[in-house]
Amino acid sequence: MAGRFLYLQNDSGPGRPALAKLEGHRFDFVQQYEADRIDWTAYDAVLISMFADQVHLCEISGKIAAYLDAGGTLIVNGHIARPFLPELTRYVPMEKRGLAELVVHREAKHPAYGEMDTERLYKRNGVAGFFGRGSNPPPEGAKVLYSVGPDHMPVDWIYDRPEGGRIFVHSDFKGGSMSNKPTIALIDGGAAYHADSYEREPLKDWFDRVIYIRDLPRTDLTGIDVLIVPCRTSPFQLSMLSEQLQAFMRAGGTLAVMGETRPDLWLPDVGFEAQDTNFWWWLDKDADLGVTMCAPGHKVNDYITKEDATYHIHGVLKPLAEGQVSLINDAEGDSLMFEDVTSYAPGRLVVTTLDPFYHHGMFFMPATTRFLLAFLPWLADSHGARQEAPRWGAICPPGACRRPPGGSQQPPGFPWPLCAGNPLYSAANVKIASLPYC
């Protein structure tokens, strides 16, 4: 029987290509922040991805609960950092994650899996850990379908709610203090891997402020020296903040933009070329990804090593514009990280295609934690070395850069119209006519 499904999207790209291959079924990909404006009753199931803004999901929890009460099905993927329904509990990572702890167990049969071999879930290309590395603990009465490790930590479970509807959950996919360090702020995109980066050791003491992305337009950035855009923050939201972020740099601030945020769509003169990612290169013990620290004499080399920056590559920053100096290159000589100290002087821009916050917050790939424990001190020390006491003016007064709810006026500072011409919408395959401000 054909089904109709709503996919709440909070990342760039054309949705999930694999879903389009499910013949006879219809998937509507809608930006998450528009989901509370549309009618869900026509959908057999609503899919929430690991990239979801869970702060926003808490805001629309009443709509989600009403959909379930009416008999709907909710499919939740990824770590729960902010439980947005009473049936959900915060993700618990495994204390130990060796091969034995990552073995996948089938606890109950379910038609969604058929007769799938658990070995296929346990390892991909011989590598374990993709299926599950912890648990979103199920509520009492839930049926556990798959678990991991000798303690059988629940990873996949389904719960038929007494009030109606059902929930399917798949549970996965400090630095030391410094005296006189600059004030470092992190933008929280609402994703679990953001919260698990800034709320847990060893990184939590690095961040003096955490600003939720949808609060940023109303936030006075006075007194912030370094502002970090962590990996996989929604470019849809960042595109509305472009002028504010550029003003922050021109007032003397350092803006650090991490991977998979598509800064080419919301900052001028930033080039990006996506690459097919080779996740398996390291299975050959003699392999070398070819990453190099390419700026001899630069202070970054006192902090970050080639090994810290070597795990995999999603894309490169090309072409480099005037003033953009590459600090890390790939094997072809294309930039994986650049610093620009001239375009926004007296501030600076640091951009990388590496995505360490994502992998660190997903408790996966130790090299990414090493990178962050080197990258953060470099950001702090190098900012302090460039200017002792920056004095900020007011940046983006309250109310600026905000999209009027339900209105048709283009918000101040938005680089493209909020209509079909916006590449973020066309790339996401969103039905433009359904958006109330077009």
Tokens linked to 249: 């740099």
CB atoms within 10 A of CB 21: 8
Domain boundary among 357, 386, 415: 386
pLDDT for the residue 73:
96
Eight-class DSSP state of 284: S
pLDDT value of residue 268: 96
**For residue 71, which of 169, 163, 170, 168 has the smallest C-alpha distance?**
163
Q: Are residues 104 and 127 in the same domain?
A: yes
Query: Does 102 fall in a domain?
Result: yes
Domain presence at residue 437 = no
399 found inside a domain: no
Give the chain's domain count.
Answer: 2
pLDDT at position 231 is 96
My answer on whether 107 and 190 are in the same domain is no
Q: Which of 347, 381, 378, 352 is nearest to 248 (CA)?
A: 347
Residue 383: per-residue pLDDT = 84
Do both 217 and 93 map to the same domain?
A: no
pLDDT at 420: 34
- Model pLDDT, residue 14: 57
Residue 388: which residues within 8 A CB-CB, separation 6 or more?
none
User: Does 242 reside within a domain?
Assistant: yes
- Does 158 share its domain with 224? no
Contact 259, 352 (CB under 8 A): yes
Dihedral (CA of 128, 129, 134, 138) sign: negative
Q: How far apart are CA 234 and CA 218, in angstroms?
A: 18
Q: Which stretches within 46-168 are classed as H helix?
A: 54-59, 61-69, 118-122
Whether residue 320 lies inside any domain: the answer is yes
Within-domain flag for 418: no
Lookup: tokens for 371? 């990178």
Alpha carbons 3 and 23: distance in angstroms, whole number: 10
First to last CA, the chain: 34
Q: Is this prediction's pTM over 0.85?
A: no
Buried b / exposed e along 221-257 (16+ C-beta atoms within 10 A): beebbbbbbbbbbbbbbbbbbbbbbbbbbebbbbbbb
Residues 122 and 207 in one domain: no
**Dist. CA 229–CA 189, nearest whole Å:** 9
Residues 50 and 143 in one domain: yes
Residue 246 pLDDT: 97
Residue 284 has a pLDDT of 81
Cβ-contact 171, 91 below 8 angstroms: yes
Both 240 and 152 in one domain: the answer is no
- Full domain range(s) for residue 305: 184-386
Q: Which of 317, 351, 345 lies closest to 332 in space, CA to CA?
A: 317
Q: Specify whether the backbone of 403 is left (phi greater than 0), alpha (psi in -120 to 50) or beta.
A: beta
Per-residue pLDDT of the chain (438 residues; tens, 9 = 90+): 678 999 999 876 555 656 765 667 888 889 999 998 999 999 999 999 999 999 999 999 999 999 999 999 999 999 999 999 999 999 999 887 788 888 999 999 888 777 777 877 887 656 788 888 999 999 999 999 999 999 999 999 999 999 999 999 999 763 333 334 689 999 999 999 999 999 998 998 899 999 999 999 999 998 899 999 999 999 999 999 999 999 999 999 999 999 999 999 999 999 999 988 888 777 787 888 999 999 999 999 999 999 999 999 999 999 999 999 999 999 999 999 999 999 999 999 999 999 999 999 999 888 999 999 999 999 998 886 654 433 222 222 233 322 333 333 333 333 323 333 333 333 333 332 222 222
pLDDT value for 425: 32
Residues 6 or more apart whose Cβ sits within 8 Å of residue 22 = none
One domain, residues 132 and 225? no
Looking at the DSSP bridge assignments, the partners of residue 77 are 170
Regarding whether 190 and 143 lie in a shared domain, the answer is no
> Do residues 153 and 197 both lie within one domain?
no
290 lies in the same domain as 382: yes
pLDDT value, residue 11: 74
